Structure 1
Amino acid sequence: MTHNAPLSPRPLHDLSGGGRPRVLTTAQLRAHGVSTAETNEQCRAGGPWQQLLPGVVLLHPGPPTSEERLHAVLMYAARERGSGVPAQPGASRPHAAAYPEVMITGLAALTLHGFSSTPPLPSLDAIDVLVPRLRRLRSTGCARIVRTPVLPDPEQVTGVPVAPVARALADAVAGLADAGIVRRLLTEAVRGSHCDPTAVVRELNQARLLSRPHVVDAVESLLAEGRARAEDRLYRMIAEYGLPDPVWNVDLRLPGGPYLGGLDAYWPDQAVAVELDTRAPRQDDDALWSEYARKREHLERLGITVVHVTPRKLRDSPEQQATVIRTALMASADREPAAYVVVLPR
């Protein structure tokens, strides 16, 4: 058999042509009439094909493109599921259906999401791929297996299933020991509006990464960054929707009595307060929420209405949050006067 001899009674160009990545599994090659022996012959040293990963063949002799590496990793991870043959993406079959229960994660996923602080895809020695915990796979070649008991819903980026940013961040951070890199990644996630700080911290907590000192330091910076952005959105929302100016960042005390708590915004005449809920989900989350709840109940017993606002709500539905605050201000005229409290700058 020569290299130019036809290898299949059915042409391969319908799968590897048309600008699609020239990567197929050995099962797909067999479906096109290419026997295992023929595949091995084509993949021999100096041959026209290459075995990029176990069971995955690159249909040209040169180095794979970044897109081909991504699809090769997904094919490798998906081939062990069910019949072991992932369907080849095509015009009538999106990539989402081709790679069930696998997705790109880690640094490669962040690069696909548009992060500027992550390495370009060609410079990555390995591509992380997220799979169910019980999937029988091992890391090999350019595929690094990351297991999880529960898969998140993937996002489609350039036709590739990719883990959500928060999950991809946690998987990337798990393999990083450089505090500076971790801090840059987390900061870009917030500044670039890729995700909320609380979502990132939740994933880091679930991955049990908050015991690492360099991760804790980066998280503190992340939460400070997230709170500053939330405060800025709160300032702009009150101005843009014509709400009366409150007093900002104050502490409340009873006259000659105990400290009642700090507030982000307070309207003394209407006894209405706004508190930004920027709690980070950690192991002591229940205790922290209990503290929030106790403060709110105490203030409301004194006749003070407390409106809790999250950074996500400020970002996604500022008009709705402004309406909630305006309603609370208007309703103050129908309530009994609140107890007198001392308002101090925080």
Structure 2
Amino acid sequence: MTRRSWARDAEELFGASRRGVITVAQLEDLGVPSRTSYRRCRPGQPWQRLLPGVVLLRTGTPTRRQLLEGALLYGGSEAVVTGLESCRRQGLKREARPGEPIHLLLPAHLKTTSSGYVLVERTTRLPAPVTLDELPLAPVVRAVLDECRRLTERAPIRALLAEAVQQLKAGPAELSAELEQGSDRGSALPREVLREIGKGARSPAEAAAMAVWRRTGLPEPVWNFEICDERGRYIATPDAWCDAVALAWEIDSYEFHFGQPGYAATLERNNRYAAAGVAVVQTVPSRLRTEPRAVAGELVLAYRAAANRPRPPVVLSGRRE
């Protein structure tokens, strides 16, 4: 393409781009002077600047994929997408938040820095990418921990790690190993939450419940184990179970309505507990966050009451996956 013909060949320019995203350097190779590229990104002109040296060959709001293509062009050929974007592309069921950055990993020797919506992290441990839909993605275990290291509160870290285990099948042992191999920066809270998950927490609410239980000073329960009656008939799989006194703790949502299957299943479970003589404490997830001290007090009282009655013939079985 010559400098005289590029303006007439918009289709060819678009064909050389990534979904309409292209670098100024690539445009120069196609005959578009850099000053022309930048001029066409001014208000009222047909293109727009996404990042330094990266333009979108149209106006309007870029799609998430176009932003991602722009980030990769900005980062260069060795860039690897990590964090939530990588997790989402590999199956995490979360929508992108408005303004959520795209997190890139780059080799430590490069000088590229964060800009605009792109968060650049230079690393000596650049992972071999997983390629999906022509995108270089950090493996799930690395991506989720790269995001966790940036978080400063326990609750979102719990939520993300629990989702990674449940939705992306990331193993707690793999996550712990990756955490130990990386930098200590931002690792303290993820390490604590992974210990909770390793003990059996299957959700953010259960991880929060473990933290509340530690306030009680009571013997540590087991988490997510089946219990059966003396004839081996299944009773339930309580979130927490104190075997010495046959006390079950369930983290139950109050958002059921009569007639819904979830509500009916909860009633049936509670009826089985009652028939077997099991003491049960039920807590809604929101109270774990808003009233941890009160919940801990209720658990202590329930434990003492259970200890003062004859223990029913209930048998602890294996963990239900």
TM over 0.5: yes
Partner SS state of residue 121, structure 1: coil
Q: Which residue of 2 aligns with 1:200?
A: 175
Q: CA deviation at 1:200?
A: 1.1
Q: CA deviation at 1:216?
A: 2.9
Provide the C-alpha distance between the structure 2 equivalents of 1:184 and 1:122, rounded to a whole number of angstroms.
16
Partner SS state of residue 110, structure 2: coil
Q: CA deviation at 1:20?
A: 5.2
Q: CA deviation at 1:209?
A: 4.3
Match of 1:65 among 63, 69, 92: 63
Give yes or no for the alignment of 1:112 onto 2:89: yes
Q: CA deviation at 1:14?
A: 3.7
Match of 1:135 among 110, 114, 122: 110
Provide the C-alpha distance between the structure 1 equivalents of 2:38 and 2:191, rounded to a whole number of angstroms.
50
Match of 1:37 among 35, 38, 48: 35
Provide the C-alpha distance between the structure 2 equivalents of 1:34 and 1:151, rounded to a whole number of angstroms.
35
Call closer, same or farther: CA 1:7–1:65 in 2, change over 3 Å: farther
Call closer, same or farther: CA 1:147–1:181 in 2, change over 3 Å: same
Whether contact under 8 Å (1:22, 1:68) holds in the other structure is yes
Identity of aligned residues (%): 32
Provide the C-alpha distance between the structure 1 equivalents of 2:178 and 2:164, rounded to a whole number of angstroms.
13
Partner SS state of residue 199, structure 1: helix
Match of 1:21 among 19, 22, 28: 19
C-alpha distance after superposition, 1:93-112 (max 9, x if no partner):
xxxxxxx3211101111111
Q: Which residue of 2 aligns with 1:151?
A: 126
Provide the C-alpha distance between the structure 2 equivalents of 1:111 and 1:193, rounded to a whole number of angstroms.
9
**Equivalent AA in structure 2 for residue 63 of structure 1:** T
Partner SS state of residue 60, structure 1: coil
**Equivalent AA in structure 2 for residue 31 of structure 1:** D
Whether contact under 8 Å (2:25, 2:34) holds in the other structure is no
**Equivalent AA in structure 2 for residue 222 of structure 1:** I
Provide the C-alpha distance between the structure 1 equivalents of 2:196 and 2:178, rounded to a whole number of angstroms.
16
Q: CA deviation at 1:215?
A: 2.1
Q: CA deviation at 1:17?
A: 4.7
Q: CA deviation at 1:55?
A: 0.6
Provide the C-alpha distance between the structure 1 equivalents of 2:101 and 2:81, rounded to a whole number of angstroms.
11
Whether contact under 8 Å (1:103, 1:129) holds in the other structure is yes
User: After the TM superposition, which residues 117-266 of structure 1 pair with which residues of structure 2 at under 5 Å, given as runs?
Assistant: 118=94, 120-121=95-96, 123-209=98-184, 213-225=188-200
Q: CA deviation at 1:178?
A: 2.1
Match of 2:51 among 46, 50, 53: 53
Whether contact under 8 Å (1:183, 1:221) holds in the other structure is no
Q: CA deviation at 1:124?
A: 4.0
Provide the C-alpha distance between the structure 2 equivalents of 1:211 and 1:20, rounded to a whole number of angstroms.
35
Q: CA deviation at 1:206?
A: 2.6
Q: CA deviation at 1:212?
A: 5.0
Q: CA deviation at 1:194?
A: 3.0
Q: TM-score, normalised to structure 1's length?
A: 0.53
Partner SS state of residue 123, structure 1: coil
Provide the C-alpha distance between the structure 2 equivalents of 1:76 and 1:132, rounded to a whole number of angstroms.
14
Whether contact under 8 Å (2:83, 2:144) holds in the other structure is yes
Whether contact under 8 Å (2:140, 2:168) holds in the other structure is no
Q: CA deviation at 1:147?
A: 1.5
**Equivalent AA in structure 1 for residue 66 of structure 2:** E
Provide the C-alpha distance between the structure 1 equivalents of 2:132 and 2:96, rounded to a whole number of angstroms.
14
Q: CA deviation at 1:19?
A: 10
Q: Which residue of 1 aligns with 2:9?
A: 11
Q: CA deviation at 1:203?
A: 2.0
Q: TM-score, normalised to structure 2's length?
A: 0.57
| Contiguous gaps of at least 5 residues in structure 2 | 203-316
C-alpha distance after superposition, 1:37-92 (max 9, x if no partner):
211220112211111100100111111110000000000000xxxxxxxxxxxxxx
Partner SS state of residue 29, structure 1: helix
User: After the TM superposition, which residues 231-310 of structure 1 pair with which residues of structure 2 at under 5 Å, given as runs?
Assistant: none
Partner SS state of residue 66, structure 2: helix
Q: CA deviation at 1:214?
A: 2.8
Call closer, same or farther: CA 1:54–1:211 in 2, change over 3 Å: closer
Whether contact under 8 Å (2:82, 2:137) holds in the other structure is yes
